[in-house]
Amino acid sequence: MVKVTLDNVQLLGKLDSTPLFTNSKTTPADVLTKGALEFVVLLHRTFNKTRLQLLDNRQKVQKKIDSGEYKLGYLPETKFIRDDPTWTGPPLSPGLIDRSTEITGPPVRNMLVNALNSDVKTYMTDFEDSASPTWENMIYGQVNLYDAIRDQIDFDTPKKSYKLNKRFIESPTVIVRPRGWHLVEAHVLVDGEPISASMFDFGIYFYHNARKLIELGKGPYFYLPKMEHHLEAKLWNDIFNVAQDYLGIQRGTIRATVLIETLPAAYQMEEIIYQLRTHSSGLNCGRWDYIFSTIKRLRNLPGHVLPNRDQVTMTSPFMNAYVERLINICHSRQVHAMGGMAAQIPIKDDAKKNEAAMLKVRKDKERELSKGHDGSWVAHPALAAICNDVFNNMGTANQIYWIPNYEVSASDLLNTNITGGIVTTDGIRVNLDIGLQYMEAWLRGSGCVPINYLMEDAATAEVSRCQLYQWVHHKVKLNDSGEIVTPDLTSKILKEQVEALIAKSKTPENNKYIELAAKYFEPEIRGEHFSEFLTTLLYDEIVTPLDKPVDLSTLKP
Ligand SMILES: *[C@@H]1O[C@H](CO)[C@@H](O)[C@H](O)[C@H]1NC(C)=O
Ligand SMILES: *[C@@H]1O[C@H](CO)[C@@H](O)[C@H](O)[C@H]1NC(C)=O
Ligand SMILES: *[C@@H]1O[C@H](CO)[C@@H](O)[C@H](O)[C@H]1NC(C)=O
């Protein structure tokens, strides 16, 4: 066994030793044990350098795209992977054969119970974009999963009792999404630097639960976000091998589904499956983030300006090409091709509106089924019935056996030409409104936010500010007024939106977060500054380090 030292490791996150919930015995001190910390420190010391290099590569690709001379395409150096028809993914793992409806949500205790109680096959438990990564959210997320897996998640609040209605093993299969490579966990410092959030989230969960999950007949399963290159998938694969070896678990036990939610990754789908090989459980279409990435990476090129966000849909040429390519490749390699998110939530006070929203969900799921997806996402338990109903038409647990053979060329993935696409003043306003509302909630510690009857995650705010950057940068003409979008125009509408949100705010104590959100948003929407991610831009605002690090000799073994 490798020896890990905790010299030069500082824990700055509070380790409560009293449970947050009645009838829960587990505390952060039970998940951040000495053994678990040593494990994540080992991962970080071994792999942090590669992680940083890969993040740096993303910027190199951006510079090449910006130069206008380089066009995104398939990599020549991996042609042998694409051209070799003989390799496939591994046999499907228990609990991951039928994934017709997957529910998603952050590991907040009540939401976790509700998700496990819903009528779905699988559950993407999210430490990433639908969670605001406060220390408390992240560490209690681990506590909640630890308890769920051990059938001790039931708890009471003054208002309500939450109870699993089946044993964990009979409940939907849990698939954990750790934070992406770009994020750090600032409450743990290794050799003076914050630890990789991906390795922290993955490591703590894996260390405590992998064996238990295998004993129960399932396994440690993951969703991997935001990758932009197949070598980023290789890094995960290397981590999986070290992690399995460390705990004495057979290599190939882990399964990971990769979200194809960046434009560069769409050119490397086969390579990504190949890198994960025995650990792959397919790919997923992460639609909002994919739109975000497409705008982000193409933002400085004329000819790729996207119209108002409601005109960018799954049937837009570049989106349709991405879906078709993903299904072709997944099924050729014998792994799942998962669909995208229905963000709708029930509209309780308006039956007509509700019916229209639910019909929209059904149509979207029907499109996914007929395209060839094996299952799809919902953000709310009430939507599960619709998705189940549609995907039951497969008549089988999945349709991996069906290889549709769509024709998709490299340039189809760049076809952002949307017929009738226009940009309007209202389009600017909608973007600012959604962006501000989301960021306000995120800064308060909530990352899963209902806005206009849609359950939004960080991608929504990212799409907002990228669109505004792009419209200002390319001096787009507004269809309603004929005006050109300028920095002063977006600033003016931002100010109006802040005032409007404050005027209708029912919680004046939160107004400071609206103003803080606007402060960060402004340089971005004026096109003066472009951050890679809002979540990294805002992160320092939610970091709450202890003045004095935790004495590591007091950690539980
Ligand atoms: C992480 O990588 C950077 C860059 O290679 C390096 O300077 C730093 O020392 C590394 N940190 C740890 C904890 O290994
Ligand atoms: C965009 O699509 C329209 C309608 O199909 C077509 O007339 C136009 O030439 C296309 N523009 C580009 C830049 O491809
Ligand atoms: C608005 O869009 C319509 C439809 O594309 C177009 O015919 C019209 O000329 C546009 N108006 C302005 C002011 O750009």
What tens digit of pLDDT does each residue of 16-33 get? 877 777 677 899 999 999
Name 459's Cβ contacts closer than 8 Å, sequence gap at least 6.
129, 261, 286, 288, 289, 291, 292
For a substitution probing ligand 2, which of 417, 419, 422 has the most ligand atoms within 8 Å of its CB?
A: 417
SS3 of 487, please?
helix
State the pLDDT at residue 1: 62
User: Which residue type is seen at 549?
Assistant: P
Closest protein CA for atom 6 of ligand 1: 49
Indicate whether this model's pTM tops 0.75: yes
Residue 269: pLDDT band (50, 70, 90) is: very high
**Any idea which ligand is nearest the CA of 411?**
2
Per-residue pLDDT tens digits for 99-155:
999 999 999 999 999 999 999 999 999 999 999 999 999 999 999 999 999 999 999
The answer to whether 287 is a known catalytic residue is no
Q: Are 300 and 433 contained in the same domain?
A: no
For a substitution probing ligand 1, which of 5, 37, 41, 48 has the most ligand atoms within 8 Å of its CB?
A: 48
466 lines ligand 1 (CB under 6 A): no
Check whether 407 has a pLDDT greater than 70.
yes
Domain membership flag for residue 193: yes
The answer to whether 457 is a known catalytic residue is yes
State the pLDDT at residue 23: 72
* β partners of residue 162: 155
* β partners of residue 280: 256
Distance 417 CA to ligand 2 centre (A): 6
Last residue of a domain, one of 304, 327, 345: 304
Q: What number is the average pLDDT over the span 474-494?
A: 98
**Any idea which ligand is nearest the CA of 199?**
1
Residue 327: pLDDT band (50, 70, 90) is: very high
Domain membership flag for residue 79: yes
Nearest ligand 2 atom, CA 415? 14
Per-residue pLDDT tens digits for 35-61:
999 999 999 999 999 999 999 999 999
State the pLDDT at residue 17: 73
Distance 479 CA to ligand 3 centre (A): 5
Per-residue pLDDT tens digits for 408-425:
999 999 999 999 999 999
Name residues contacting ligand 3 (CB within 6 A).
Answer: 420, 422, 477, 479, 482
Q: Can you give the CATH number for the domain in which 525 is found? A: 1.20.1220.12
Domain membership flag for residue 299: yes
Domain membership flag for residue 326: no
**Structure tokens given for 107:** 């590991």
Distance 476 CA to ligand 3 centre (A): 13
Per-residue pLDDT tens digits for 93-105:
999 999 999 999 9
* Of 235, 301, 330, 327, nearest in space to 72 by CA: 301
Q: Give the number of domains in the chain.
A: 2
Closest protein CA for atom 9 of ligand 3: 479
Last residue of a domain, one of 271, 304, 337: 304
Q: Can you give the CATH number for the domain in which 232 is found? A: 3.20.20.360
For a substitution probing ligand 3, which of 425, 479, 484, 485 has the most ligand atoms within 8 Å of its CB?
A: 479
Nearest ligand 2 atom, CA 417? 1
Domain membership flag for residue 414: no
Q: List the alpha helices (DSSP H) in 183-268.
A: 197-215, 230-247, 263-266
Q: Are 234 and 102 contained in the same domain?
A: yes
Domain membership flag for residue 12: no
**Any idea which ligand is nearest the CA of 476?**
3
Domain membership flag for residue 322: no
Helix 109-116 × helix 135-149 angle, to 10°: 40
Taking only Cα atoms into account, the Rg of the chain, rounded to an integer number of angstroms, comes to 23
Name 388's Cβ contacts closer than 8 Å, sequence gap at least 6.
100, 101, 119, 120
State the pLDDT at residue 25: 85
Q: What number is the average pLDDT over the span 377-383?
A: 94
| Residue 12: C-alpha distances to residues 117, 442, 550 (Å) | 35, 21, 6
Alpha-carbon gap, residue 153 to 427, rounded angstroms: 43
Residues of the domain holding 79? 20-304
Closest protein CA for atom 12 of ligand 3: 479
Closest protein CA for atom 2 of ligand 3: 479
Distance 120 CA to ligand 2 centre (A): 41
Distance 48 CA to ligand 1 centre (A): 6
Distance 323 CA to ligand 1 centre (A): 37
Q: Given the DSSP bridges, would you call strands 280-285 and 255-260 parallel, antiparallel or unpaired?
A: parallel
Least confident span in 81-90, 306-315, 449-458, 533-542: 449-458
Domain membership flag for residue 327: no
Alpha-carbon gap, residue 273 to 265, rounded angstroms: 11
Where does residue 511 rank: exposed (0-12), middle (13-18), buried (19+ CB within 10 A)?
middle
**Which of these is catalytic: 99, 109, 177, 367?**
177
Check whether 533 has a pLDDT greater than 90.
yes
Q: What number is the average pLDDT over the span 291-316?
A: 97
Decide: 138 and 131 in contact? Cβ < 8 Å: yes
55 lines ligand 1 (CB under 6 A): no
**Which of these is catalytic: 325, 364, 457, 465?**
457
Mean per-residue pLDDT over the chain, rounded:
96
Per-residue pLDDT tens digits for 152-183:
999 988 889 999 999 999 999 999 999 999 99
Alpha-carbon gap, residue 177 to 126, rounded angstroms: 5
Last residue of a domain, one of 288, 304, 320: 304
